[in-house]
Amino acid sequence: MIRDITIGQYYPGKSVLHNLDPRIKLIATFWLIVVIFLCKSFFSLGLITLTAVAAAALSKVPPKMILKSLKPIVIILVFTAILNIFYTQGGETYFEWWKITITEKGINTAIFTMVRIVTLVVISSLLTYTTTPTMLTDALERILSPLKVFKIKVHTLAMMMTLALRFIPTLIEEIDRIMNAQKARGADLETGSIFQRTKALVPIFIPLMVSSFRRAYELAFAMTCRCYTGGEGRTRMKQMKIAARDIVAIVVCTAVTAGVIVLNIFFDAVI
Amino acid sequence: MSFAIETVGLTHYYSKGTVSQVAAIDNVNLQINKGELAGIIGHTGSGKSTLISHFNGLLKPDSGKVIVDGVDIWKDKETLKNSRFKVGLCFQYPEYQLFEETVYKDIAFGPKNMKLSENEIKERVLRAAEFTGVKAEHLNKSPFDLSGGEKRRVAIAGVMSMQPEVLIFDEPAAGLDPRGRADLINLIKNYRNQTGSTVIIVSHSMEDIAEMADRVIVMNKSSVAMQGSVDEVYSKGDELRSMGLNVPEITEIFAKLRSKGIDVPANVYTVEQGAEILRNLMERRSEE
CA distances to A117, A230, B195, B196 from B127, rounded to whole Å, are: 61, 52, 11, 15
For the segment A146-188, what is each residue's pLDDT rounded down to a tens digit? 888 888 888 888 888 888 888 888 888 899 899 999 999 988 8
Say if residues A141 and A158 touch (Cβ distance below 8 Å): yes
Among A178, A184, A211, select the one facing B84 at the smallest CB separation.
A184
Nearest Cβ partner for B110 among A185, A206, A210: A185
pTM higher than the cut 0.80 = no
Residues of A whose CB is below 8 A from B18: none
Which residues 6+ apart lie within 8 Å of A50 measured at CB? none
Cα–Cα distance for residue pair B47/B26, rounded to 1 Å: 9
**Interchain proximity B96–A206, CB inside 8 Å:** no
Nearest Cα neighbor of A165 from A4, A6, A2, A3 is: A6
What is Dmax (Cα atoms) for chain B?
71
Q: How confident is the model at residue A264 (pLDDT cuts 50, 70, 90)?
A: confident
What is residue A4's predicted lDDT score, i.e. its pLDDT?
A: 45
| Residue A41 near residue A264, CB atoms below 8 Å | yes
**Rounded distance between C-alpha atoms, residue B239 and residue B111, angstroms:** 43
Is A199 near chain B, with CB under 8 Å? Answer: no
Cα–Cα nearest to A157, from A169, A168, A171, A143 = A143
pLDDT at A271: 65
Look over chain A and give the mean of its residue pLDDT values, rounded to a whole number. 86
Give pLDDT, residue A53. 93
> Sign of the CA dihedral B51, B54, B60, B65?
positive
The mean pLDDT value for A46-55 works out to 92
Measure the CA–CA gap between A152 and B201, rounded to whole angstroms.
Answer: 54
- Chain A residues 121-180 with a CB less than 8 Å from chain B: 177-178, 180
List the domain boundaries for chain A.
9-144+241-266, 152-225
Interface test with A, best of B59, B60, B87, B99 (most A CBs within 10 A): B99
Considering only alpha carbons, which residue of chain A is nearest residue B162?
A185
- Find how far residue A193's CA is from the centre of its chain: 33
Q: What is the pLDDT of residues B65-94, one digit of tens each?
A: 999 988 999 988 888 888 899 999 999 999
pLDDT band at A8 (very low <50, low <70, confident <90, very high): low
What is the separation of C-alpha B23 from the centre of its chain, rounded to a whole number of angstroms? 23
Kindly give the confidence (pLDDT) of every residue in chain B, 288 residues in length, as a single tens digit, with 9 standing for 90 and above: 688 999 999 999 987 776 678 888 999 999 999 999 999 998 888 889 899 999 999 999 999 999 998 899 998 888 888 889 999 999 999 988 899 999 999 999 999 999 999 999 999 999 999 999 999 999 999 999 998 889 999 999 999 999 999 999 999 988 888 888 999 999 999 999 999 999 999 998 888 898 899 999 999 988 999 999 988 898 888 888 888 888 888 888 888 888 888 888 888 888 888 888 889 888 888 887
Query: What is the pLDDT at residue A181?
Result: 92
Q: B215 in helix, strand or coil?
A: strand
